Structure 1
Amino acid sequence: MKAFLLGLLGLVALLAAYLLLWPVPIAPAAWDAPYDFGYVGAYTPNRDLTDLTEIDLGTHHGPEDIVALPDGRLLTATQEGFILTVDPQTGAVNVLADTGGVPLGLEMDPTSGRLIVADAHKGLVSVGLDGSVEVLTDTVDGTPILYADDLDIADDGIIYFSDASTKFGAKASGSTMAGSLLELMESKGTGRLLAYDPATKATRVVADGFVFSNGIAIAPDGDILMNVTGRYQVLKINPETGAQTVLIDNLPGFPDNINRGPDGTFFIGIVSPRSEWLDKNSGNVMARKIAMRLPAALRPQAQSYGLILQIGASGQVFRTWHDPDGNYLTPTGAVVVGDRLYITSLLSPTLGYRPYP
C-alpha cells in the first residue's frame, strides 16, 4: 500500500509539473475582457437564420466568402484550397482554380477582371477566370505574411487586407482554426492591416497590434472597417495615417467577415459566441498556459450558434439573423446577390442562402 501511495504521489507530482512547466507556444498577455451581456437589445435572438436552403459542395467544405459573376454564377473559396464556381440555379459546382493554400476572403478587381484572394498560406493572390493563379505579395517590410484573411478594394485600386497573426501562421499552426486559437489565447496582438498597390506592386503596413485582425470592408468615406476577432470589436481605420476609432465594441461573439451590403450597409458574421472561460481568464496568463497543455478537446472551442449582423456605416445595428441551434456550421459572413442572402462558413460542406430582404 505504501508503495502504491508513493507511486500515486509521484504521478500527481509529474502531472502537476507538466501542467505548470511544459513549454507552450504562447506567451500570454493579461487583458480585461468587457462584461458579456449576451444576446440582448439589438442582439435579441430570433430564428431568421434557420431553415436555410443549402447548395451541396460535394467533397469540398468551408465556403468562407463568395462573389458574384456577371453571368450569375458564384465564386467561393474552400478549405481544401480550391476556388469553385457555383451555379445557384442548377446547383452545379466546378473547380476553377487551386491556389495551393487556403483561400479565405474574396473580391473581384474591376480593373483586371481577376479574383483577388486573401490566402491564409500564400498571401495576397490573384486568380483569373481561366484558372491562372499569381501571388501578388507574400511579404511586407521584409517579414512574411503568415495569415492573409480578408480584403476589400478601394476605388483607387488599392487592396486592403488583414494579416491575422504574424506569429501563429495558418500553415505552421496546422489549420486556420488552430492559428486563430493560438492568437486569441496569447492575446498580445500580432495582427495587422496591410495595403497593396497593384500599380507599384508595393505592400505597406497601415496599422498593427491587433488580436486577430479579420474582416475588411471599405466605408463610404474611404476609411477601412476591420473586425478584431479577439477584442469583439469593429474598428474604423484611416488608410493613410492608421488612426483608429471603435465603431462597435463588446460584441456578443467573435466577429469574422465583414462585407459591403445594399444601401451603404455592411454584413458581419459572428462565427461563434464568446467563450465564458476565455473572458473569465483574460487576466490569468497561467490559466491560459495550462489550458494549452491540455488535450485539444479540453481547450476552449467554437460553439454552435449562428449570427449575422447588418450594420450601418456609423455602427448602428439594423437587423440580425440568428440560428440558435447552430445547424449551419460556423457562419463567417453574408453577401447579398439578387434577392438572396448567402451565408458563408468556415466548416460547412454547403453554401446556404435565404430570401433577402
Structure 2
Amino acid sequence: MKTALKLLVVFFIGIILYLLFFPVPISPRSWQAPIHKGYIGAFSPNTGLENLAKAPLPEGIHGPEDIVEMEGELYLSSQTGWILKFDPLTDKFIRFANTGGSPLGMESMHGKLIIADPYVGLVSVDGAGTLEVLSNMVAGTPILYADDLDITSDGLIYFSDASTKFGARAIGSTLAASLLEIMEHGETGRLLAYNPSDKTTHIVADNLAFSNGVARAPNGTSVWVVETGKYRVLEISPKGERKVIIDNLPGFPDNINRGPNGTYFIGLVSKRAKALDSLANKPKLREIIWRLPEFMKPKAQDYGFVLQIDSSGEVLRTWQDADGVYPATTGALVVSNAVVGDRLYVSSLASKTLGYRPYP
C-alpha cells in the first residue's frame, strides 16, 4: 500500500514538474485584451452567410484563402499550393499554377498574379503559369510567413510577414504557425514593401501581433493592415506611422479586401476565445496550457462572419452564420458579371468549396 502511494506521489510530482518546466516553443508575453462586448450593435447576429451557394473545388484541394479578378477572370489561392481559375458560369475550376507552397493573399499587376506564399515568399505568376520569386529576404533576414498584399498608387507592393519566429514551412502548416504566434503574442509580425523598379524590399513597420490582411488605404499610398492578434485593423503609412481604423472585433480578423464604392470587406476566421482573452496577462499560465494534451487546449470555434466597413472604419453591414457551416471565413470579394450579376464570393481557410451569394 505504501509503495503504491509513493508511486502515486511521484506520478503527480512528475506531472507538476512537466507542466511547469517542460520546454515549449513559445515564450508568452503579457498583454491586455480588450473586453469582448459580444455580438451586439453593428455585430448583431444574422443569417447572411447561411445557405451559400457552393462550387466544389477539385479533388484533394481545400482552403480557397483569397480570390482575385484579373482581366475578367477569377483566380483562387488554396492551402494545397494550387492557384485555380474559376468560371462563374459553370462553377468549374481549372488548375492554373502551383507555387510549391501554400499561397494565401493575391492581387493582380500588369497581367500577372502577385502572391504572398508563407512557404516561398512574395512571388509572381504570369499568364502561362510561370513562377518567379520576387522576394524572400529583407534586411538580411528571411521572410518566414508572407501572408497578404496590396499594391499602392505609386506601384509599391506592400505585404505582411505574419511572424518572424514561427515560419509556416518550418512549423509544418500556416495554421500551426499562426497558433504559436498568437499564443505567444510576441508581436514579431511586420509590414514589408517591395519595389518592382529596383527589386528591393524594406521593412515599413514591425512589432505587429500577427500581421495578416493588407489592403490599399483610401489615400492610395498608405495601407490597412489586419493585426489578428489584437482583433483590429491599422492604417500604416509609408513611413511606418500607425493609426487604428477599427478595433475590438468580435472574432479573429484575417483578410481585408477592397470593395465597391470605397468600402472594405474583412473576414473573421473564428470566434474570440474567452479563455484566451482571460489569459492575455497571464503568460506563465499560457505556457502551462501549451503543455496540456491537445484535447484540453482552447479551441477555435467556427462562426462564419464577414463585415463591410467604409473608409472611416464604420461598420456598414455584416453577413453571418453562427453554425459556421462554411468554415473559417477569411474574407470576401464582390465581382460583377453581366450574366450572373453581382456576387459576394467568400473565402475560407478550410472549405472544400467556394461559397458565394448575391450582393448585397
Q: Which residue of 1 aligns with 2:351?
A: 348
Amino acid at match of 2:203: V
Amino acid at match of 2:226: N
In the TM superposition, residue 287 of structure 1 has moved relative to its aligned partner by 1.1
Query: In the alignment, is the contact (CA less than 8 A) between 2:152 and 2:222 conserved in 1?
Result: no
* Deviation digits for residues 242-276 of structure 1 (CA, Å, limit 9, x no counterpart): 00011111111110000000000000001111111
* Deviation digits for residues 87-140 of structure 1 (CA, Å, limit 9, x no counterpart): 12112211111101110001001x3x1000000111100011211001000000
Q: Which residue of 2 aligns with 1:152?
A: 150
Amino acid at match of 1:226: V
In the TM superposition, residue 220 of structure 1 has moved relative to its aligned partner by 1.8
Amino acid at match of 2:54: E
Q: Which residue of 2 aligns with 1:105?
A: 105
Q: Which residue of 2 aligns with 1:325?
A: 323
In the TM superposition, residue 154 of structure 1 has moved relative to its aligned partner by 1.1
In the TM superposition, residue 337 of structure 1 has moved relative to its aligned partner by 0.5
Residue 20 (1) aligns with residue 23 (2) = no
Count matched residues: 353
Q: Which residue of 1 aligns with 2:226?
A: 227
- Name stretches of at least 5 consecutive residues in structure 1 with no aligned partner: none
In the TM superposition, residue 172 of structure 1 has moved relative to its aligned partner by 1.0
**Greater displacement, 88-97 / 9-18:** 88-97
Amino acid at match of 1:300: P
In the TM superposition, residue 9 of structure 1 has moved relative to its aligned partner by 1.0
* Deviation digits for residues 199-226 of structure 1 (CA, Å, limit 9, x no counterpart): 0100000000011000000112122101
In the TM superposition, residue 300 of structure 1 has moved relative to its aligned partner by 2.2
SS of the residue 1:103 aligns to: coil
Amino acid at match of 2:141: T
Distance 2:326 2:257 in 1: 19
Q: Which residue of 2 aligns with 1:277?
A: 275
SS of the residue 2:104 aligns to: strand
Q: Which residue of 2 aligns with 1:38?
A: 38
Query: In the alignment, is the contact (CA less than 8 A) between 1:166 and 1:191 conserved in 2?
Result: yes
Alignment equivalent of 1:175, drawn from 173, 176, 182: 173
Query: In the alignment, is the contact (CA less than 8 A) between 1:76 and 1:83 conserved in 2?
Result: yes
Q: Which residue of 1 aligns with 2:68?
A: 67
Q: Report sequence identity in percent.
A: 56
- Name stretches of at least 5 consecutive residues in structure 2 with no aligned partner: 337-341
In the TM superposition, residue 299 of structure 1 has moved relative to its aligned partner by 2.0
SS of the residue 2:286 aligns to: helix
Distance 2:212 2:37 in 1: 23
In the TM superposition, residue 330 of structure 1 has moved relative to its aligned partner by 0.2
Amino acid at match of 2:31: W
Residue 253 (1) aligns with residue 251 (2) = yes
Amino acid at match of 2:294: A
Q: Which residue of 2 aligns with 1:85?
A: 85
SS of the residue 1:183 aligns to: helix
In the TM superposition, residue 294 of structure 1 has moved relative to its aligned partner by 1.6
In the TM superposition, residue 295 of structure 1 has moved relative to its aligned partner by 2.2
What is the 5 A alignment of 1:261-272? 261-272=259-270
Query: In the alignment, is the contact (CA less than 8 A) between 1:96 and 1:129 conserved in 2?
Result: no
Distance 2:296 2:83 in 1: 33
* Deviation digits for residues 5-39 of structure 1 (CA, Å, limit 9, x no counterpart): 11111111111111110001111110111110011
What is the 5 A alignment of 1:181-220? 181-220=179-218
Amino acid at match of 2:297: R
In the TM superposition, residue 298 of structure 1 has moved relative to its aligned partner by 2.5
SS of the residue 1:208 aligns to: strand
* Deviation digits for residues 15-71 of structure 1 (CA, Å, limit 9, x no counterpart): 111111000111111011111001111101100111000010022100000112334
Q: Which residue of 2 aligns with 1:119?
A: 117
Query: In the alignment, is the contact (CA less than 8 A) between 2:61 and 2:78 conserved in 1?
Result: yes
SS of the residue 1:67 aligns to: strand
Distance 2:108 2:85 in 1: 14
SS of the residue 1:277 aligns to: helix
Distance 1:208 1:307 in 2: 28
TM-score by length of 1: 0.97
SS of the residue 1:348 aligns to: coil
Q: Which residue of 2 aligns with 1:135?
A: 133
Distance 2:299 2:119 in 1: 23
Distance 1:64 1:198 in 2: 25
TM-score by length of 2: 0.96
Q: Which residue of 2 aligns with 1:5?
A: 5
